[in-house]
Amino acid sequence: MNGNKWFAHCAEHENALNVICFGYAGASASYFTPWAKHIPEGYSLLPVLLPQRETRSKEKMPNSLTALAETFAAENEELLTKPVVFFGHCTGAVIAYEAAKFMEKNYGTSPLCIVASSSPSPAFTLLKDDISRFTNEEFAGKLAEMGIIDKAMAANPVFLNYYMPIIRTDFDMHNKYSSGDDVKISCPVICTYGSEDELISKEQIEDWKRFTSGSIELRTFAGKHFYLDDQLGNYLKFIFDEKLAALNEK
């Protein structure tokens, strides 16, 4: 994906099934760098690089999550009209859903599936507060209380100055998002989540069934909201060897 501003830290292979990855609120494409050594043959890993970070640090985010997803999909028609799989962690799964909606409406195709990790359905958000009323320090403290970042990071001046504006923008965008008429996409959704995640409920995850006419599957893993970081090899083995292998043979 050389020359495409939307992708960075890719692990590409010729004639492979593309797995497009959307990170959580505040994440960058570099979050997926450790995944590369676990990706089996037959797949290309394409982490999405959003505006406001890394080489796109001077670009502003669109004014809504829907606009972000639609802009991404509109600028990657050649890629998205070929077989792809979407992975999204938390907010990233909702971006994936909106991109899939755009694909079906405009290209007449959809992802082979969406893997929604630690994500309630598009009807829910993690945080209902008006973020604008918090200082960077206060918001970082709230995220630390929720277990999204650790306390040391919340007190780090570099983190507060550089990363907090990105995190605030992403959370604010998700908080203001509305799924509208709950449009159903046609592809299956695989929902994976941590058994000790206190930020989302099983009922919120099961609500994905309102947003797809395809199948929905729930799979739990030991851990909290970022459970997959603690058992990345096993998690990706489940995703690629157990769930995506059959899709890649089609």
DSSP labels, 139-187: HHHHHHHHTSS-HHHHT-HHIIIIIHHHHHHHHHHHHT---TTTPPBSS
Shared-domain flag, residues 21 and 83 = yes
- Candidates 142, 90, 98, 137; CA nearest to 118 is 90
In a domain, 10, yes or no: no
Residues 203 and 165 in one domain: no
CATH of the domain at 228: 3.40.50.1820
d(CA 171, CA 152): 21
- 163 and 116 housed in the same domain: no
For the purposes of burial, counting CB atoms within 10 Å of the CB of 31, is it exposed (0-12), middle (13-18) or buried (19 or more)?
middle
Q: Is residue 6 part of a domain?
A: no
Q: Evaluate whether residue 12 is within a structural domain.
A: no
Q: What are the tens digits of pLDDT across the range 162-173?
A: 899 999 999 999
* Model pLDDT, residue 2: 77
Beta bridge partners of 75: none
152 shares a domain with 78:
no
pLDDT tens, residue by residue, 59-104: 999 989 999 999 999 999 999 999 999 999 999 999 999 999 999 9
Whether residues 130 and 165 fall in one domain: yes
Are residues 117 and 218 located together in one domain of the fold? yes
Residue 233 located in a structural domain: yes
Query: pTM for the complete prediction?
Result: 0.95
Q: Which domain holds residue 168?
A: 126-176
| Secondary structure of residue 69 in the 3-state scheme | helix
For the chain, the domain total comes to 2
In a domain, 54, yes or no: yes
> Within this chain, do residues 107 and 192 fall inside the same structural domain, yes or no?
yes
Structure confidence by residue, pLDDT tens digits, 106-136: 999 999 999 999 999 999 987 777 788 888 9
105 and 201 belong to one structural domain: yes
Q: In terms of domains, do 25 and 131 share one?
A: no
